[in-house]
Amino acid sequence: MLQGLSLRIRVFLFFAALMAGAGAALWLGLWLGYHRLGANPDALVGFVQAGVVAGFAILGLIAGVWYLFDVNVAKPIDILAGALRARAHADVTGEMDAAIARYLGDLAPAASAAAASLAETRNALAESVARETARLADEKGRLETLLSDVPVGVLLCSGDHALVFYNGQAVDLMAAGMAPGLDRRLFDFLREGPVRLAHDRLIATGDTDVATDLLCSTIGGATVLAARMRLLPAGAGAVPGYVLTLRDVTADLAAHARREALLAEVMDRARRPAANLSTLLAVIPEGEAAPGRLDAALRQEVQALTQAVTELAQRQDDGRHDSWPLALTRAADLADGLKARLEGRGLPLETAAANLLLRCNGFEIILLLDEIALHVRDAGLSQALRLTIVEEDTGAMIRLLWVGQPLSIGLLDRWLAEPLDKAVPDIPCRTVLATHATEIWPEPHGGLQSLCLPIRQARRVTQRPKPVQRSVVYDFDLLEKARNAKVAETPLADLTCVVFDTETTGLLPLQGDEIVQIAAVRIVNGRRVEGEVFDTLVNPRRGIPLSSTDVHGITEAMVAEAPFIEEVAARFHKFAEGAVLIAHNAPFDMEFLRRAEAKLGFGFDNPVLDTVLLSAVVYGQHEVHSLDALTHRLGITIPEEARHTAIGDTVATADAFLKLLPMLQGKGLITFGDVLREVRKHGRLLKDLNG
């Protein structure tokens, strides 16, 4: 009940209770004194007068003390609390009037200091937020610029296939210049089948680091697109969204056609004059074309020209098979792409495709079958078609089936001589067959008419798509970073560092112990770069004692096929080139590396920092500076399974160094040279390795 009252009311009630208690005590004392006198009536008046005078005196005294306490303690505390609350919640930044609480000892200065510290912290936080906001806005602008310049369409979709991002190229590919609109369904623009199947395939793998390629078509079926899908991270139980990149190979096919047409035209123009010259010289008797040696030279040059043209033409024909890439295409995507294209032209198509990956150019196959299907309809052979793709030996068989009249070989040849696409008139349909080293022919099949198109290479779809590397590593602050050749004058935060650790066969490098594992991470601009890691086992060319295996868990079987130290040290030297090396107890690890220098022909002359010495600078030599003790003080947890592994200890050392950085800067140690001078004061603890 009293907690709901203000401080001043509670103080008043306290003094009122004190006043009541004092009055009761006074009355009790007078009553006892009066009765000790035998209840003499003559003394009653004196006792009453004494009680009244004493009561008013006590009342006045307590009231006065209450007033002074209220004015100088309770009221200033309320005012001070209000002022602090205003600065805490109302963003008031003015200085507090310490005079209002001058009788409260050090409370007023302490409150003023706390308010000032709060204001400074808030201002610093606001400035930091403003800087980070500006930096993020700048990075956002750069990323937007990069994405807008990417020559493929990029889409980000939610788990229920709603658009959350698209770039300008995607607009052109999907909607012919019309903005699709955020939060609209992707299937308003692309056919649902291949996209949904690819999404389900990736979710089934349970791996966010895999991607899958697919063929998809626009709703109208006019454009067949090459696409790649990759899942986005999602929370527990949520359906992951995905990134979809789109590429229209129609333009690539047109460019390919123009190059092929140009080469064909060049070869044709060169072949005819060469053939004519050869024919002309063949009918002219020797000696009549030109006198003496000139005649022989002319015939020799014409012969060389004819031979060169023939060889180049043959090489062009041989290279035609390799001039357009044959990627792995899902049979279901190819069937859906053809279905979309034909249905867009009013020709229904029923499809049935095995779960296969075909080694083919899916776009050319779709264009070829599209042209042939339209010819089948226009020739009156059938108005409804069926497409099947089945496994056959090491390849696959594509069949276009219909109920109706058979197709003659002559009519099929005429169709194959026509352009593959009106947009690329220089490439006939037969070119697709040459590219794939295959043929197409009509034959009856299961009581139906069919066209058979074999694909030479195909395989069944495996359960898990091939993973791809997708990490993007960047630090745009490096664009403005000033380069300073003098490491000693470089601020610690600007250093590029490589933190590393080794696991060995033992603790005595001078007695033949060797490295069995080395790991390293890079620190750039004051942050650990997640994607830049060096981690490898090393074959020590000797046995690993069981006592060492008990520590790091590395057995002789694990390093039997590992590279030797010469190869690993050379790779690590390249990884650490131009960086400051950082290790915990660096002399131990560096001794093992420097033993390999004679075989390498170069040395590890990088500047070195030791987190043991940095810990001593910050905490003093009296503390324990083991890696476990240091990480415990800094609140860093090393998983039990990662302790005493090279990569686990490396990551812990890197995180410890990053937490020591601001503590070193707080001691006024700003540059590498400042730190170097300070760590050398602790040489009794550990030797500094910088010459």
Which run of H or of E encompasses 212? strand 211-217
- Please provide the DSSP assignment of 375-414 as one string: HHHHTTS-S-EEEEEEEETTEEEEEEEESSPPPPHHHHHH
The burial of 198, by beta-carbon neighbours within 10 Å (0-12 exposed, 13-18 middle, 19 or more buried), is given as buried
Residue of 241, 243, 229, 220 whose CA lies nearest to 173: 220
Question: What is the strand order of the sheet 211-217 is part of?
Answer: 163-166, 153-157, 242-248, 224-231, 211-217
Give the number of other Cβ atoms within 10 Å of residue 683's Cβ: 10
Q: How many CA atoms lie within 13 A of 672 on its CB side?
A: 22
Axis-axis angle for helices 331-343, 362-378 (nearest 10): 40
Distance CA 179, CA 167 (A): 10
Distances (CA, A) of 112 to 108, 203, 604: 6, 58, 55
Distance CA 116, CA 104 (A): 19
Tokens, residue 64: 């006065």
Residue of 661, 665, 660 whose CA lies nearest to 634: 660
Tokens, residue 63: 């009231």
Distances (CA, A) of 452 to 98, 373, 400, 438, 486: 96, 13, 7, 10, 72
Residue type, 237: G
Contact in structure between 564 and 538 (CB atoms under 8 Å): yes
Distance CA 139, CA 145 (A): 10
Residue of 603, 464, 475 whose CA lies nearest to 530: 475
Contact in structure between 520 and 533 (CB atoms under 8 Å): yes
508-513 long-range contacts (CB < 8 A, ≥24 apart) are 509/588, 509/591, 509/592, 509/595, 510/591, 512/542, 513/592
Distance CA 428, CA 403 (A): 27
Distances (CA, A) of 49 to 18, 56, 390, 641: 22, 11, 123, 88
Distance CA 574, CA 568 (A): 10
Distance CA 150, CA 171 (A): 13
Contact in structure between 372 and 429 (CB atoms under 8 Å): yes
Contact in structure between 617 and 679 (CB atoms under 8 Å): yes
**Residue 35 among the catalytic residues:** no
- Please provide the DSSP assignment of 498-567 as one string: EEEEEEES-S-GGGT--EEEEEEEEEETTEEEEEEEEEEE-B-SS---HHHHHHH---HHHHTTSPBHHH
Distance CA 516, CA 537 (A): 6
The burial of 34, by beta-carbon neighbours within 10 Å (0-12 exposed, 13-18 middle, 19 or more buried), is given as middle
Q: Which of 199, 552, 584, 644 is catalytic?
A: 644
Distance CA 228, CA 466 (A): 12
Distances (CA, A) of 398 to 378, 417, 429, 510: 21, 20, 16, 69
- Residues belonging to the active site: 644
